[in-house]
Chain A
Amino acid sequence: MGVWHLTAVELEALKLSLWVSAWAVAVSLPAGVLTAWVLARGRFAGKHFLDGLVHLPLVLPPVVIGYLLLVLMGRNGVIGALLYEYLGIVVAFNWKGAALAAAVMAFPLMVRAVRLALESVDQGLEAAARTLGAGPWRVFFTITLPLIVPGIITGAILAFARSLGEFGATITFVSNIAGQTQTLPLALYTLTQVPDGEAAALRLCVLSVLIAMAALIFSEQVSRRFTRRLRGEQ
């Protein structure tokens, strides 16, 4: 077995990380697009407040987010207790909680990317569609949405990469359970805490760097291709 051969625990952590991150992105994507749209187009009293709230996970220590999630979404949390009582959903100590923590931490990145795309949309096109008789929903789905696809893809992939790296909120909220909540960074942390774990920790470091780089390059490529297509350059 070579140095670069992943052990069963590490492989499980890798799979779990991909699964958790995919769910985090899937769940937060609709909410992210909606929030971005509200922030880009809306004119209302609490806009700055909402903007600040969305960006909090970017600037707060992740442990704070993890603790707030525990207080709000835990089995005895304000929202967590209701979720359990009415829907039978428990997020404490399982992968769903890990996905929730990752989604919250990655949310600002997604919203920023989509909002940027929305703000660069030529609103004249939307207005033209409206004068030709299209309703607001039709305008959004046939004009606005196709124009912001590159932004959505960038946002989704950034959020995916951020989710893969989530550590502080996850370990605080859902602990470090192998196969349930022990994602790649948590497995790596455990390895750095045992005296003979250096080689394995280094292996996971390299793996994390490779995945993150691949995601970033992929996101850049895809959004370029879509931008070119939107400009009609094929």
Chain B
Amino acid sequence: MAFMKRIRHLWVLVLLFSFGPNLGTCVAASAVNDLVVFAAASTTNALGEIGTLYEARGMGHVTFSFASSSTLAKQIESGAPADVFLSADVPWMTYLEDKKKVAPENRQELLGNRIVLVVPADSPVKAVEIEPGFSLSNVLGKEGRLSMGDPEHVPAGKYGRKALEQMGVWDQVKDRLAPMKDVRAALVMVERGEAPLGLVYATDAAISQKVRVVGIFPSDSHSPIVYPVAAVSGGKMEAAKPFLTFLKGSEARAIFLKYGFDVR
């Protein structure tokens, strides 16, 4: 009998595991205005604030998933339940368009950004003159590394590499990189002083008290940094529309500007 009892307890567990999460999503997804937004990690703070405002206006509940644009694009391609996608670069949005996950008429350019050089707040370095052939080795010292998003796949890293190549200094630093898995991880390395120099977005530098901007790359030294946004095909297209309009509105613009973005 004790054995039977144990079996019965197991059933409860099995039931919980199989239905629990579903019950949760049923409740969460009940309202038609509720949205799931997949957005690039660099927009975390700004979008969080905008989401709160959107909810406070009674327009609907927004759930965010922040990660690198590449990760999110792959998840959406595999059928993740996203209604809106905000990418930190154009190629990943085009990738989803090619996979028929985003319709061309549903995407638009939302934000712009800049690439900047940062140092730890207590660094003796005052400013780095960014001009063709400028030297980074004196800032990096003998064994310091340049912390940046992995130029293989992180958008911030790809722009950074382009800008360094344009200035003719990529060969100086290409073996002195600390390629991080996203731009926020690159920022942390500079904040903690593990890397004497970092290459991040102006927006990342703006939210951190522990780093100082010592140089801004000219916006023509790399392809324009554009954040496209789109409603995802197969998601709640109708509910996504007011949210996309809200992102373009003056209230949202003010928040984006506060966090260092260019608004388009």
Residues of A within 8 A of B (CB): 70-71, 74-76, 90, 92-93, 171-172, 175-177, 189-190, 192-195
Report which of B70, B95, B150, B194 forms a contact with A176, defined as CB distance below 8 A.
Answer: B150
Question: Cβ of B179 and Cβ of A74 under 8 Å apart?
Answer: no
| A193 engages B194 (CB within 8 Å) | no
Of B147, B181, B185, B192, which contacts A76 at CB under 8 A? B192
B71 touches A193 (CB 8 A): yes
Q: How far is the CA of A171 from the CA of B186 in the complex (A)?
A: 11
Tell me how far the C-beta of B259 lies from the nearest C-beta in chain A, rounded to whole angstroms: 24
- Quick check: is B171 within 8 A (CB to CB) of the other chain? no
Query: What A residues does B179 contact at CB under 8 A?
Result: 175-177
Given the known interface contacts A90-B143, A193-B70, A193-B71, the answer about A71 and B150 at a Cβ–Cβ threshold of 8 Å is no
| Known contacts A74-B192, A76-B193, A194-B152; is-contact A189 B181 (Cβ 8 Å) | yes
Residue numbers in B under 8 Å from A190 (CB-CB): 150, 152-153
Q: Is the interface of B mostly helix, strand, loop or mixed?
A: mixed
A195 close to B95 (CB less than 8 A) = yes
Total A-B pairs in contact (CB under 8 Å)? 50
Instruction: Assess the B95–A193 pair: CB atoms within 8 A.
Output: no
Report yes or no: B180 in contact with A71, Cβ–Cβ below 8 A: no
A171 to B188 alpha-carbon distance, docked (Å): 13
In contact, B152 and A193 (Cβ under 8 angstroms): yes
Q: In this assembly, does B100 line the interface, its C-beta being within 8 Å of a C-beta of chain A? A: no
List A contacts of B185 (CB < 8 A).
Answer: 172
Question: Hey, which chain A residues are within 8 Å of B241, CB to CB?
Answer: none
Asked whether, in the complex, the Cβ of B152 is within 8 Å of the Cβ of A76, the reply is: no
Q: Which residues of B contact A (CB under 8 A)?
A: 68, 70-71, 74, 91, 95, 143, 145, 147, 150, 152-154, 177-181, 185, 188-189, 192-194
Given known pairs A194-B152, A195-B95, the reply for A76 and B70 (CB within 8 Å) is no
* Cβ A175 vs Cβ B152 within 8 A: no
Contact of A93 (CB < 8 Å), options: B70, B91, B178, B188:
B178
User: A176–B180 contact, CB under 8 A?
Assistant: yes
Given A93-B145, A171-B180, A193-B153; 20 other pairs, CB 8 A cutoff: A74-B194, A90-B143, A171-B181, A175-B145, A175-B147, A175-B180, A175-B189, A176-B179, A177-B177, A177-B178, A189-B181, A190-B152, A190-B153, A192-B74, A193-B70, A193-B74, A193-B154, A194-B153, A195-B91, A195-B95
Nearest residue, chain A, Cβ from B152: A190
- Distance in angstroms from B211 CB to nearest chain A CB is 14
B12 to chain A, nearest CB (A): 24
Residues of B within 8 A of A74 (CB): 192, 194
Among candidates B70, B153, B177, B194, residue contacting A70 with C-beta atoms closer than 8 Å: B194
B189 CB contacts on chain A under 8 angstroms: 175
Q: How far is the CA of A194 from the CA of B152 in the complex (A)?
A: 8
Measured CA separation A93–B177 after assembly (Å): 9
**Are A71 and B192 interface neighbours, CB within 8 A?**
yes
**Bound CA span A92–B189, Å:** 11
B74 and chain A: residue at smallest CB distance: A192
Minimum CB–CB distance for B227 against chain A, Å: 18
The interface residues of chain A lying within 8 Å CB-to-CB of B71 are 193
Residues of A within 8 A of B154 (CB): 193
Q: How far is the CA of A172 from the CA of B185 in the complex (A)?
A: 8
Give the CA-CA distance A175 to B188 in the complex, in Å: 12
User: Chain B contacts of A70 at CB under 8 A?
Assistant: 188, 192, 194
- List residues of chain A with CB within 8 A of the CB of B178: 93, 175, 177
Residue of B nearest to A193 (CB): B153
